[in-house]
């Protein structure tokens, strides 16, 4: 049974890939039922092939809307061991970065942010949003939260243009390291609009807290990375205690 199923799935995949090669980015594919009739292949096999293509970023499936040819992505790589700005990551990969749609607002910091930055509930601060593009294509939507003061230094974001760490260094606040959590999340409406994707589309989600040289939590950051644009690498070392004795 398996020997018959695998070739049919391969045929379905190759047929859909051939169809995609004739379509422009964003074009809508026929429905599963239509593809099954056109190719003479069962819907479960079509569905399986589409799932594989979605995982590889070749198509985008939107519940209740349809399946679409994906936009070609700029493929970049970055190390999690280095605390670089997204613009620097774009530049280091040979693309031209730009920071657009910068908005700075005064807010009462959300409870989760106050907890992470060790601040009293509803402390005053700033919310900074912007979109980083690579060769004109939206790559990452960033949201930073900062308190009004870090240590004894008042935060003046009139010096901010594109790099938060550099802007704080100009004020005398020096970031030493950050603790970062990565996961796959669904895009919010705000992030989707910035990245030119649909609300609910999967994104690489980075949530991190950056600390100063005296270990004071200073910036709470959220990054929505458009799927397939930037990948992060991490060097892992073997546990020497588990090596076999010679």
pTM over 0.75? The answer is no
- What Å distances lie between residue 171 and 108, 129, 133, 174, CA to CA? 22, 20, 26, 9
What are the distances in angstroms from CA 64 to CA 31, 48, 61, 165?
A: 11, 18, 9, 42
Task: Please identify every stretch of the chain with a pLDDT value under 70, giving residue numbers as ranges.
Answer: 1-6, 71-75, 239-246
For 37, residues 6+ apart whose C-beta sits below 8 A from its C-beta are: none
Dist. CA 193–CA 220, nearest whole Å: 22
**What is the residue extent of each domain of the chain?**
2-69, 76-233
In this prediction, residue 3 carries a pLDDT of 43
91-132 confidence digits (pLDDT tens): 888 888 899 999 999 999 999 999 999 999 999 999 999 999
CB pairs under 8 A, 24+ apart, for 18-22?
A: 20/53, 20/58, 20/59, 20/69
* Fold assignment, 2-69: Arc Repressor Mutant, subunit A (1.10.10)
| Superfamily of domain 76-233 in the CATH hierarchy | Chorismate lyase-like (3.40.1410.10)
């Amino acid at each position: 049974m398996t020997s018959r199923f695998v070739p049919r799935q391969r045929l379905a995949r190759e047929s859909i890939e051939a169809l995609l090669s004739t379509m422009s980015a964003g074009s809508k594919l026929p429905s599963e039922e239509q593809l099954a009739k056109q190719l003479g292949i069962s819907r479960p096999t079509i569905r399986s092939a589409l799932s594989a293509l979605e995982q590889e970023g070749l198509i985008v499936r939107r519940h209740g809307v349809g399946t679409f040819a994906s936009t070609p992505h700029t493929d970049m790589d970055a190390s999690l061991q280095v605390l670089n700005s997204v613009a620097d990551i774009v530049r280091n990969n040979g693309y031209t970065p730009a920071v657009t749609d910068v908005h700075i607002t005064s807010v009462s910091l959300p409870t989760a942010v106050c907890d992470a930055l060790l601040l009293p509930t509803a402390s005053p601060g700033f919310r900074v949003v912007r979109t980083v593009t690579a060769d004109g294509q939206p790559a990452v939507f960033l949201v930073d939260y900062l308190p009004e003061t870090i240590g004894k230094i008042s935060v003046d974001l009139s010096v901010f243009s594109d790099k938060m760490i550099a802007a704080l260094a100009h004020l005398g606040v020096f970031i030493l390291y950050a603790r970062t959590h990565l996961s796959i999340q669904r895009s919010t409406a705000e992030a989707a609009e910035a990245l030119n994707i649909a609300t609910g589309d999967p994104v690489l989600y980075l949530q991190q807290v950056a600390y100063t040289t005296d270990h004071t939590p200073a910036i709470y950051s959220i990054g929505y990375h458009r799927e397939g644009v930037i990948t992060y690498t991490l060097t892992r070392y073997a546990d020497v205690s588990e090596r076999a004795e010679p």
